């Protein structure tokens, strides 16, 4: 069996020659240790690398993308992965200013901006300062949702998946190529989590926008030849979900079912991922979402 045959047989409950392997991802440090050289693989570190590439120009950015795909494949091959993860975290926005080796400014320095800094030890690339600092309130959420709904009305019904299509064309005969889609979640801050209780209808509208975008992307990925859709959305910590099982059942389950049904309609499988302890919602997640 080749890797693709092995993976698909597993999802179809058929016998395989061995258990297929897929590690969700590798940090830059571990990937570099595996290859014995610097590997353009990782999470925050890849966003920082892309910021540098964008700052240097179009040719440097093209080289960054090519090297990132090449290194991701070499790490996957070296660790005998059956599912290829060829796309790691990205940050396609060009910085406005390079402050130092690890720090970039984005936005308009006179109007609205943020400063992001890379921490080599942890490989985190994060916002360390921004202007203006505005705390979102419950009153703001309605305007946020209205704006999202208006943008959805004018957005193209076709999702751009040319990179995924090219990767599947290049590697898809032998491997299952991991592609992302079907992400849906309540934002993990106190205002949105409070709205789950006090404004559930508004949260439902927010999730409906995400749902429509997810369905559009799934249809585009199906035409690109995808077989596994890696989606989900973080919603829990070590102590359990950040909102009640009842809220999950009412807000998330029907929409996850729509996403799973759409994947099945096109002969694809939907994989849901979240951090944290999901046992309090396990029955709903595994039995009622498709």
* Domain C-terminal end among 78, 109, 133: 133
Same domain? For 98 and 212 the reply is: no
Q: What is the CATH number of the domain that holds 169?
A: 3.20.20.210
One domain, residues 115 and 145: no
Is residue 22 situated within a structural domain?
Answer: no
Q: Which residues make Cβ contacts (< 8 Å) with residue 212, sequence separation at least 6?
A: 152
Tens digit of pLDDT for each residue in 221-230?
A: 999 999 999 9
**Predicted pLDDT of residue 254:** 98
- The whole-number pLDDT of residue 90 equals 94
Output the CA torsion 125→233→69→9 (10° steps).
150
Measured between alpha carbons, how far apart are the two ends of the chain, in Å?
A: 28
pLDDT at 173: 97
| Burial environment of residue 189 by CB neighbours within 10 A (0 to 12, 13 to 18, 19 or more) | exposed
225 part of a folded domain:
yes
In three-state form (DSSP H/G/I as H, E/B as E, the rest C), the secondary structure along 166-200 is HHHHHHCCCCEECEEEEECCCCCCHHHHHHHHHCH
**Residues 116, 232 within the same domain:** no
Task: Note whether 199 and 265 are same-domain residues.
Answer: yes
Bridge partners (DSSP) of residue 139 are: none
Burial of 68 (0-12, 13-18, 19+ CB in 10 A): buried
Residues 144 and 280 in one domain: yes
Q: Is residue 79 part of a domain?
A: yes
Distance separating alpha carbons of residues 149 and 187, to the nearest angstrom: 17
Question: What stretches in the chain show pLDDT beneath 70?
Answer: 156-158
Do both 118 and 164 map to the same domain? no
Tokens of 264: 């099945």
CA-wise closest residue to 225 among 256, 264, 259, 267? 267
Same domain, 150 and 118: no
d(CA 142, CA 197): 15
Whether residues 220 and 100 share a domain: the answer is: no
Full strand arrangement of the beta sheet holding 124-131: 97-100, 103-108, 112-119, 124-131
Q: pTM here?
A: 0.92
Total number of domains constituting the chain: 2
Hey, which residues does 124 pair with through a beta bridge? 119
Specify if 108 maps to a domain. Answer: yes
Boundaries of domain holding 32: 27-133
Two tokens at 102? 């690890």
Same domain, 127 and 214: no
Cβ(244)–Cβ(236) under 8 Å?
no
The CA dihedral of 221, 227, 231, 237, to the nearest 10 degrees, is -170
Query: How far apart are the C-alpha atoms of 143 and 5, rounded to whole Å?
Result: 48
Do 263 and 214 contact (CB within 8 A), yes or no? no
């Amino acid at each position: 069996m080749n890797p693709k045959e092995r993976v698909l047989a597993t999802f179809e409950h058929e016998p395989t020659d061995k258990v297929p392997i897929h590690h969700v991802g590798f940090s830059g440090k571990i990937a570099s240790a595996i290859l014995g050289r610097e590997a353009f693989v990782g999470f925050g570190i890849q966003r920082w690398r892309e910021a540098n590439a964008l700052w240097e120009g179009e040719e440097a950015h093209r080289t960054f993308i090519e090297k990132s795909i090449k290194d991701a494949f070499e790490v996957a091959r070296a660790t005998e992965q059956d599912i290829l993860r060829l796309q790691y975290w990205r940050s396609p926005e060009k910085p406005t200013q390079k402050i130092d080796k690890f720090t970039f400014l984005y936005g308009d320095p006179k109007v609205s901006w943020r400063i992001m800094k890379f921490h080599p030890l942890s490989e985190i690339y994060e916002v360390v300062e921004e202007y203006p600092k505005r705390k979102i309130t419950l009153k703001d959420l309605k305007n946020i949702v209205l704006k999202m709904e208006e943008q959805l009305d004018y957005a193209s019904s076709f999702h751009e998946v040319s990179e995924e299509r090219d990767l599947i064309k290049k590697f898809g005969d032998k491997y299952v190529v991991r592609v992302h889609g079907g992400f849906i979640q309540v934002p993990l801050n106190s205002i949105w989590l409070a709205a789950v209780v006090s404004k559930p209808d508004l949260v439902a509208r927010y999730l409906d926008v995400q749902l429509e975008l997810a369905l559009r992307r799934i249809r585009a990925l199906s035409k690109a030849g995808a077989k596994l859709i890696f989606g989900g959305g973080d919603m829990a910590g070590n102590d359990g979900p950040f909102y009640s099982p009842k809220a999950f059942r009412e807000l998330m389950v029907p929409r996850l079912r729509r996403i799973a049904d759409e994947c099945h309609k096109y002969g694809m499988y939907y994989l849901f991922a979240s951090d944290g302890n999901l046992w309090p919602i396990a029955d709903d997640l595994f039995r009622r979402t498709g």
